[in-house]
Amino acid sequence: MAEIKAPSRTSRPLLGVLFMCTACALFPIMNGLVKLLAATYDPQEIVWFRIILHLVLVAAVFMPRMGLGLLRTRRIGTQFVSSVMMMLSTLFFFSAVKSIPVAEAIAVTFVAPLAVVLLAWPLLGERITFFRMAAVIVGFAGVLIVIRPGSAVFQWQSLLLLGSAVCYAMYQILIRRLAGIDAPATSIFYSVLLGAIIMSAWLPFHWKTPTGWIDWALLCSLGALGALGHYCVAKAMTYASANFVAPFNYTQMIGSVIVGYLMFAEVPDFYTWLGTAVVVGAGLMVGWHGRKPQKS
């Protein structure tokens, strides 16, 4: 089979930005639907729909071209651990967003890129500079501003959001370790495979039959929105460098505010905006510093 040549990573940067912003518009819609459905269904059932539909869509897209080669991996253990991290990240987030405003939930998860910086040191041996460590500390301070532990507005579900961010950071690190070893499509498939198996075994204890076709449609749409969003992120990386498009990930905050207001009449308070600005600023500091050549 002839190899399909991917577009140059820097040939069409504006198209890369368009794909990234599209993804950042899809994810808040998915999160809003999760919050809406969580009022009726257990998070475990919602996660199952999210993962299983994602798995089916990935298989439908890549199986015709790759066949059983989609399952070929040289790091099965790493793939399974990454799948568990993705499942836990999703489960923690879906469990928390039921009680926490959409924009605040997204603001806390923005700490994930900073957690990657911190965890990549012991797990990947990537040297962490003083500048990056300072950015990580500033970013976590921003999260504390958002969740305000010890205050009357603090909710324990905020800790689930931090857990979600850390698990997602672990997932990103594991995927980085798999880069160049397994095909990207294989990693995407395995990222939800074990989670789908685990949640399927767990599902009978939390199953509630959807009450009508609208609920069926909303539950099934979660997998489509998530898969399409991740596809747009991958496409963005093919048209522009990661450092160029990554900051546009923070536009999720705009979509989250709009979704939260239109669906739940949620308006972020001053501290949510301030904490978000601190976290985003810290993330941009790390991204900007990462573009500079490191001295040996």
What's at 185, amino acid-wise?
A
User: pLDDT, tens digit, for every residue of 227-273?
Assistant: 888 778 777 767 776 667 777 878 888 889 999 999 988 888 888 89
Q: Could you tell me which of 184, 172, 237 has the C-alpha nearest to residue 17?
A: 237
Residue 50 burial class via C-beta count within 10 angstroms: exposed 0-12, middle 13-18, buried 19 and up: buried
pLDDT tens track, the chain, 296 positions: 333 344 444 467 788 888 888 988 998 999 999 999 998 999 999 999 999 988 888 888 888 888 888 888 888 888 899 889 989 999 999 999 888 888 888 888 888 877 877 777 777 676 777 777 888 888 888 888 888 876 655 778 888 998 998 898 888 888 778 877 877 788 888 888 888 999 999 888 889 998 889 999 999 999 888 888 877 877 776 777 666 777 787 888 888 999 999 998 888 888 889 988 998 888 787 766 655 544 44
Q: What is the pTM of this model?
A: 0.82
Angle, helix 76-97 to helix 13-37, in steps of 10 degrees: 60
